[in-house]
Chain A
């Protein structure tokens, strides 16, 4: 008796289970989402957060909100941690990985393994030399040489300068400095009296600059990578009456200072360029177009246009959106170290300042298609290819021309 009930019960249960599984499988097939991992190297600065927020906001913008299952993995600045993060993503059968890579070479083996398993790897800002990965970056667009030339122009071809570098041994820092020094060495009257590492941190840059200013109060210009806002603070804290030109990256405080009438009157000027967090959004959109079969991507190295804002082009945004070429926000809206390059009117009309701050989509926005032709990046050994010949005009100027000889 009991046995019969048990049998019947079991039958009913298995039938129900079969039904459930069929129904579930069907629904899964209907709204199959692309499983995409966002792999961050977390260094705790505003830049990384903004880049991640931009990707999150785009993934939540229609129609991608129905197409994308985005998972964020923060693996720190340690290469081993990122390798194991990639390994788990491959094991989890990800459709795509969008990532800020910690090293240009150390991740190659894992990426190759992922490519074979059918995972798309898109790198933003920093790059890898593995040919099967896609690099979307401004690195090759000439930050170092253009800012160096702008500084030389502002100094009239002669001066005593500091170099505030990034992280020692990092390929991006090396590329920037090689570009800058290719320009500086053309001018025998430009003397680099101090080179120090600001570690791409405003505080470290401030302290290192303060030290260099004690040793060389006669300085007449500073060339800086990310951290320029700290460089400026150190210069202002040194209580000198006359200021001098500083070139740096895209922090909000630095851009606001460039149009500060009091500082301008004391001789401060400069140019703002460098790494845009918007690159992450661009990389994500390209990846989605490839995944949704809207684009057949033949090139693996795509260049993001170099942001270029000399002092006379700084313009405050009245609201949170891109209007009339505005490129900086009022002091009370964002932090000093907020990286302003979160807009790209052609490539990324879906973004506002809020998307970069919160990771939430712009209300009412839908994803707009990218232009048909993407700008290929030149090959640079150690940056985006292992053993390749760089172009002869590697450090050619694109944003500024020599004004002095």
Chain B
């Protein structure tokens, strides 16, 4: 199991990957937005997206868990 973490503080602008789908390492799963900048969040491992810890519009801090990949 791997936790995908936020690389910066900001709000969750878009959730791209669906729960239950197979994700490849390096694939964008969500986009964070902060200070007029959009940063894609990529998965660090292959696996199935088991759970989303956030929804669109949520505010996250750097290091917060965004999703769980198994």
A-B complex is real = no
Q: Which residues of B contact A (CB under 8 A)?
A: none
